[in-house]
Amino acid sequence: MNRRKFLSGLCAGTTLAGTVSLVSNAAAMLPALDRDISLVNLHTGEKFRGQFRTEIGYLDDSLGELNKVLRDHRSGDIHDMDPQLFDWMASLSGRLGGGEFSIISGYRSPKTNAALRSKGNGVAKRSWHMQGRAIDLRLDSASTEALRKLAINDSIGGVGYYPKSNFLHLDTGNARLW
């Protein structure tokens, strides 16, 4: 059964309150046969556009490229990013009409995190960025507010909203908001 038919059946067969969030959660968490993503690191100008997952699983070469593009631009350190972030991003992008993500921050080394924290930028001491489980971004095809609402509805991980700086923080930790 393909994904669209599954979701249609889920919508048609559910009459309980909260149907919209159930469908959105299902769409975000369903295994994708093929997933692709488009992003640009605003600090380095490097881009990734392409497939990172097939019906067989994640593509190691693509994940390696994504890890490089999302490296700590201050130190040059590369760390494995959580592929579930890419799944979530691809799901969000797909539901908002596609587009390219602008990346403000991906992986952050402990040294970089400590330096940012010492400047009083509201940086968490044990930031998920240091584990490759967080990303700060915006999507060119949708407002950051629309991206935020959809991400919150997914209840997948942490969603931080920074309207003055026009970006969203996503992480694969426990579901929480700020």
Contact 124, 70 (CB under 8 A): no
Per-residue model confidence (pLDDT) at position 6: 35
Same domain, 9 and 89: no
Structural domains of the chain, count: 2
Checking if the pLDDT of 7 tops 50, the result is no
Checking if the pLDDT of 67 tops 50, the result is yes
Checking if the pLDDT of 108 tops 60, the result is yes
Same domain, 60 and 132: yes
Q: For residue 50, what is the domain's CATH number?
A: 3.30.1380.10
Per-residue model confidence (pLDDT) at position 131: 97
Same domain, 73 and 14: no
Same domain, 159 and 82: yes
Same domain, 45 and 125: yes
Average pLDDT, the chain: 85
More confident residue, 8 or 120: 120
Task: State the residue range of the domain holding 22.
Answer: 1-30
By DSSP bridging, strand 101-105 and strand 167-171 are unpaired
Same domain, 42 and 75: yes
More confident residue, 147 or 17: 147
Same domain, 40 and 128: yes
Residue holding tokens 């019906």? Answer: 55
Same domain, 56 and 18: no
Checking if the pLDDT of 25 tops 70, the result is no
Quickly list DSSP for 75-119: T----PPPHHHHHHHHHHHHHTT---EEEEE----HHHHHHHHHT
- Summarize the confidence of residues 62-79 as an average pLDDT: 97
Same domain, 134 and 92: yes
Same domain, 124 and 157: yes
Same domain, 61 and 134: yes
- Summarize the confidence of residues 21-41 as an average pLDDT: 66
Per-residue model confidence (pLDDT) at position 125: 77
Q: Look up the pTM and report it.
A: 0.80
Same domain, 67 and 23: no
By DSSP bridging, strand 176-177 and strand 158-162 are parallel
**In whole angstroms, what is the distance from residue 149 CA to residue 163 CA?**
13
